[in-house]
Amino acid sequence: MRPSTDKTSDAAALARLRADEARADERTQPASPRRSDATLPSVFRAFWRYPSPWMISGTLVTVLACRIVLGDWRTDDAYAPIILILLFPLLEWLIHVFILHWRPRKVAGVVLDTLLARKHREHHVDPRDVPLVFIPWRTLVWVIAGYNTVALIAFPRLGQALTFMVTVAVTGFLYEWAHYLIHSDYRPRSSAYKAIWRNHRLHHYKNEHYWFTVTTTASADRLLGTYPDPATVRTSPTAKNLHSTA
C-alpha cells in the first residue's frame, strides 16, 4: 500500500501547485490585452519607454566605442569577463537576498534603508507596476559611476578595464530585459524562457524566501538551497508584503 499512498500524496501536491499557479495567473492577468496577445516586438518597444534601458545601453555604447578605438586586444582581456559571466547567477542571488530584500533596521537611532530596497518592497506589493520592475534611475546613476570607476582603478591596463566594463553593461542590460519580459504580458513560448518565467513567478506569488535568481534557474538557487519542489512549499502570506509579520 505504500507506493499507492506516495502516488496519492504526489498527485495531491501537484494539484495544489497547479491551483496556486492558476490563482497566480488570475492575479497577474491584465484586463486587456490578454497575455497571449502580447508579441515580443511590441514588448521590446515598450521596454524602451523607461530610463534604465537607455542609461545602460548608453553606457554600453560609450565603453564599447572606447574599447574599439583603443585596440590593443590581448588574451588576458577575457579573463575577468569570463569569471563575471560564470559568477553572475551567484552575484544575482546575493544582490537579491542581501540588498533587494534588505530588512530596514535602526542603528543608533538611525533607520538604515535604501531606495533600492524600498522600491523592491513596492515591487513585491504590485509586481504588475511596470516602473517598479526596473532599477531606480537614481540608484543606477551611482551603480554605473561606481563600477566603472572601480574598474578603471583596479585593472592594470585600460583595455582590460574597458572590456570588463562592456561585459558588466551587457549583463546588466540582459538582466533588465529578462526581468521586464517576465513581468510583461508576453507568455513563454520557449522552454528556456518558460523556466525563468515560472521560477520568478513562484518567487512573487508562491514564497518570497525561494527562487531568487532571475536570468537563470536551478543555478545559484540550487547551490544555496533556495530551489525546492514548489509542491512542498507553503504559499507565503507575506510574498506581497516583505518582512511583515502577517
Binned average pLDDT, 10 residues per bin, the chain of 246 residues: 45 52 49 60 96 98 97 94 96 97 89 94 96 96 96 96 97 97 93 94 96 94 96 94 72
The end-to-end CA distance of the chain, in Å, is: 40
pLDDT of amino acid 7: 46
Cα distances (angstroms) measured from residue 22 to each of 19, 28, 46, 129, 212:
5, 10, 26, 20, 21
- pTM of the prediction? 0.84
What pLDDT, on a 0 to 100 scale, did the predictor assign at position 22?
Answer: 56
Q: What are phi and psi of 35, to 5 degrees?
A: -55, -40
Whole-number Å distance between alpha carbons of 30 and 74: 50
Q: Three-state DSSP class for 72? A: coil
Distance CA 83, CA 128 (A): 34
Q: Which residues lie below 8 Å from residue 51, measured CB to CB, with a gap of 6+?
A: 134, 137, 140
Determine contact, residues 210/228, Cβ cutoff 8 Å: yes
Domains in the chain: boundaries = 51-190
Backbone angles phi, psi at 50, to 5 degrees: -115, 155
Could you give the CA distance from residue 26 to residue 22 in angstroms, rounded to a whole number? 6
